[in-house]
Copies of this chain bind each other. A is one copy, B any other.
Amino acid sequence: MGTVATREEVLAAAGRARVAAAELAPLTRGEKDAALHAMAEALVERTEEIVLANARDIAAGREAGLSEGLIDRLTLTSQRIAAIAAALVEVAALPDPVGEVVRGYRLANGLDLRQVRVPLGVVGMIYEARPNVTVDAAGLCLKSGNAALLRGSASAYESNQALVEVLREAASKAGMPQDAIQLVPGVDRDSVHHLMSARGLVDVIIPRGGAGLIQTVVENSTVPVIETGVGNCHVYVDASAELDMAERIVVNSKTHRPSVCNAAESLLVHADLVGSGGLDRLLRALDAAGVTLHADPAALARAEAVGVPAVAATEEDWAAEYLSMDMAVAVVDDLDAGIEHIRRWTSRHTEAIVASDERAIRHFVSRMDSAAIMVNASTRFTDGGELGLGAEIGISTQKMHARGPMGLAEMTSTSWICVGDGQIRS
């Protein structure tokens, strides 16, 4: 099966990726887009063999007792493969980030400076479950001139192998370097550790998956990591909020797609809204939408008063990323108390304020420490597609390099190019 790999095998793959990266960097947009189109066509043409490989993963998954939810996420159909291929074509339609001049000017001594986007080099992706990530990541890496080292989950190994074989063959025929796209050899835990130790060969590792996976990578990698995706997002409803808007935003942030990182997990309500009936209205709306409320004493009292079921919140609720139809609710004395609660408990992904008082909004925005801050809008907008980045390889929750949704530009570094006619320092 080739499912166990030595450190040497993983480093050799990284070394081949490094060679490919050098060849990818100077390619033109036209050359890369042609390859992306060829890859999309090959996926559709070779649907049958991909589905067959996928069937082996599914059979193994059922034997291992995977839940129906996970089996569904693992499953590739011809329809899904067509959608995955279409996403590659969409990536081809995006501008090439490589070569973009970030800034440039002429110095007093006549040197012409340009700070220009260049590929990162070799990008390692470590991810779980869905095989579509394999194709998405390969496409985004190729477009941004990076060599991709892909490490999907063991449960999708056969599917990922088939997909990568199809992509490699098509890319290579279209003139891309042989090893622009590779699966990391091995599916055991050791192979992940070998990848994380390949500093100098791999330029960055992007983990995508649950909190446990991300924590493991962050703590063990000597290769620089971009931390992604844990979202304990808050909605703060100010005393000055329009209640119609607040209800709409709170319900949408929580229930539109509760299983994703930009769904809201905690609701903070200004104390003035307890007496005014505003809190009651929000509790009723969440209950009507099917949300289980985890309430602090003040919110619990109002829930009981208006006949909405709720359970008492503990500290764990303030920290929880439920990813389900649960929401923690707290009443805060004022704006600063709301800010303090968020700064204490947030994972720094996305926070929203609903308010009409401009001074309150400015105060809130300047004191948040999160990747995205929504003013009178749903937390669900923190997404590369929604924010106009065109595509997304993940949502960074760290401050270094990239923060928030990462599109093609975030898959690049920069170089300073300084052109003179003999300038020296004196």
Interface of A is mostly: mixed
A80 at the interface (CB under 8 A from B): no
Q: Which residues of B contact A388 (CB under 8 A)?
A: 105, 107, 113
CB pair B367 A424 closer than 8 Å: no
Which residues from 358 to 388 on chain A have a C-beta closer than 8 Å to any C-beta of chain B?
Answer: 365-378, 380-382, 386-388
Given B242, B373, B380, which contacts A415 in the complex, CB threshold below 8 Å?
Answer: B373
Q: Which residues of B contact A413 (CB under 8 A)?
A: 399-400, 403
Distance in Å: Cβ of A390 to nearest Cβ of chain B: 13
CB pair A416 B373 closer than 8 Å: yes
Q: Which residues of B contact A417 (CB under 8 A)?
A: 365, 372-373, 375
CB pair A422 B377 closer than 8 Å: yes
A73 at the interface (CB under 8 A from B): no
Question: Among A199, A376, A401, A424, which residue has the most Cβ atoms of chain B within 10 A?
Answer: A424
CB pair B26 A371 closer than 8 Å: no
A10 at the interface (CB under 8 A from B): no
A420 at the interface (CB under 8 A from B): yes
CB pair B203 A421 closer than 8 Å: no
Which residues from 229 to 273 on chain A have a C-beta closer than 8 Å to any C-beta of chain B?
Answer: 242, 244-245, 248-249, 252-253, 256
A87 at the interface (CB under 8 A from B): no
CB pair B369 A224 closer than 8 Å: no
Chain A, residues 144-158, CB within 8 Å of chain B (1/0): the string is 000000000000000
Q: Which residues of B contact A425 (CB under 8 A)?
A: 252, 256, 378, 380-381, 386
Complex Cα gap A107–B381 (Å): 11
Nearest residue, chain B, Cβ from A199: B218
CB pair B403 A373 closer than 8 Å: no
A67 at the interface (CB under 8 A from B): no
Which residues from 401 to 426 on chain A have a C-beta closer than 8 Å to any C-beta of chain B?
Answer: 401, 403-405, 413-425
Given B343, B371, B400, B418, which contacts A416 in the complex, CB threshold below 8 Å?
Answer: B371
CB pair A416 B387 closer than 8 Å: yes
CB pair B374 A249 closer than 8 Å: no
Chain A, residues 204-220, CB within 8 Å of chain B (1/0): the string is 10000000000000110
CB pair B224 A420 closer than 8 Å: no
Which residues from 176 to 230 on chain A have a C-beta closer than 8 Å to any C-beta of chain B?
Answer: 199, 203-204, 218-219, 222, 224-226
A401-B403 contact given A378-B424, A421-B376, A424-B377, CB 8 Å threshold: no
A86 at the interface (CB under 8 A from B): no
CB pair A121 B419 closer than 8 Å: no
Chain A, residues 84-104, CB within 8 Å of chain B (1/0): the string is 000000000000000000000
Q: Which residues of B contact A25 (CB under 8 A)?
A: 366-367, 369
Distance in Å: Cβ of A413 to nearest Cβ of chain B: 4
A292 at the interface (CB under 8 A from B): no
Which residues from 328 to 376 on chain A have a C-beta closer than 8 Å to any C-beta of chain B?
Answer: 343, 365-376
A424-B222 contact given A113-B388, A416-B404, CB 8 Å threshold: no
Q: Which residues of B contact A374 (CB under 8 A)?
A: 418, 420
Interface CB pairs A-B, < 8 A, 15: A22-B369, A26-B366, A107-B388, A224-B224, A226-B400, A244-B422, A253-B424, A372-B418, A376-B423, A377-B424, A378-B425, A380-B425, A399-B413, A401-B401, A405-B416
Leading 6 A-B pairs by shortest Cβ distance? A377-B420, A252-B424, A399-B413, A26-B366, A245-B422, A401-B401
Distance in Å: Cβ of A235 to nearest Cβ of chain B: 11
CB pair B377 A418 closer than 8 Å: yes
A111 at the interface (CB under 8 A from B): yes
CB pair A224 B415 closer than 8 Å: no
A291 at the interface (CB under 8 A from B): no
Given B203, B245, B371, B416, which contacts A399 in the complex, CB threshold below 8 Å?
Answer: B203
Distance in Å: Cβ of A16 to nearest Cβ of chain B: 15
Q: Which residues of B contact A303 (CB under 8 A)?
A: none
A324 at the interface (CB under 8 A from B): no
CB pair A113 B377 closer than 8 Å: no
A398 at the interface (CB under 8 A from B): yes
Complex Cα gap A117–B111 (Å): 28
